[in-house]
């Protein structure tokens, strides 16, 4: 029997329509010109996440760009970005402030790093869902052709994070990507489908999200964070 064709997936599995639509929308946003990376570069970030996931594992202290034949010589991304993508994707529990500073020291602008982290996290979330269910990964769209303006925001400050953040109220998880509002919007799209609406993060601790209670959701979230060696 042929699988049902949805926005992001073709499968007989009963994937919620809102989840399928969220993944399709996120994929379309990858191809959009960002604040610091072009549509071509943003898709290259996603493709490098997939490359890192599908390749033989390397030690976290090893740079994929230093391994002969592993990375194409004409890659759309700078070496520092490629090395960061692999480390964040495969060894997120090993990241340190010193490592972050070393990536910036190789020419990655702090706000460009924020945008890159947003795309890397989204790609990992969407692709790992597909991989876990043995589905084809979301097809990548055609990239936009415009160039990013790469204009920094002087109001951003480094306070409780390694990266600059906007002066907004709320838990740190909502501030982490605030230097690049477009990525915070994408985080909201994924969170609403895969977790809870960001607006309900602290205000609604009792309502059900689909078939799970909020307490059940938090048990799963906490266990997942533990397995991923998340700072929280």
Q: What's the confidence (pLDDT) of residue 52?
A: 97
Q: What's the confidence (pLDDT) of residue 100?
A: 97
Q: What's the confidence (pLDDT) of residue 2?
A: 44
Domain ranges of the chain: 10-201
Q: What's the confidence (pLDDT) of residue 1?
A: 34
CA-to-CA distance for 134 and 116, rounded, in angstroms? 26
**DSSP secondary structure letters along 68-115:** TTTS-TT-SS-HHHHHHHHHHHH-GGG--HHHHHHHHHTT--HHHHHH
CA-to-CA distance for 86 and 228, rounded, in angstroms? 15
pLDDT, averaged per 10 consecutive residues of the chain (232 residues), comes to 65 92 96 97 98 96 96 95 97 94 98 98 96 95 95 91 89 88 94 81 69 85 84 66
Identify the helix (H) or strand (E) that includes residue 123: helix 110-132
Evaluate whether 84 touches 44 at the Cβ level (below 8 Å).
no
């Amino acid at each position: 029997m042929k699988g049902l064709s949805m926005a992001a997936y073709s499968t007989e599995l009963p994937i919620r329509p809102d989840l399928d639509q969220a993944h399709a929308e996120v994929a379309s946003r990858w191809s959009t010109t960002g604040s610091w990376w072009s549509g071509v570069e943003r898709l290259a970030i996603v493709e490098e996440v997939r490359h890192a996931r599908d390749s033989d594992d390397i030690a976290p202290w090893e740079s994929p760009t230093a391994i002969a034949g592993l990375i194409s010589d004409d890659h759309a991304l700078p070496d520092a970005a490629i090395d960061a993508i692999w480390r964040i994707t495969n060894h997120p529990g090993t990241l340190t402030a010193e490592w972050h500073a070393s990536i910036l020291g190789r020419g990655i602008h702090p706000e460009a790093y924020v945008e890159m982290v947003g795309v890397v996290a989204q790609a990992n979330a969407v692709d790992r869902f597909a991989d876990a269910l043995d589905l084809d990964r979301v097809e990548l769209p055609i990239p936009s052709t415009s160039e990013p303006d790469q204009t920094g925001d002087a109001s951003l400050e480094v306070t409780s994070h390694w990266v600059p953040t906007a002066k907004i109220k709320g838990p740190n998880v909502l501030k982490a990507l605030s230097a690049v509002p477009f990525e915070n919007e994408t985080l909201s799209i994924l969170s609403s489908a895969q977790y809870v609406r960001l607006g309900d993060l602290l205000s609604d601790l009792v309502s059900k999200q689909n078939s799970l209670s909020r307490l059940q959701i938090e048990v799963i979230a906490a266990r997942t964070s533990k397995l991923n060696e998340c700072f929280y």
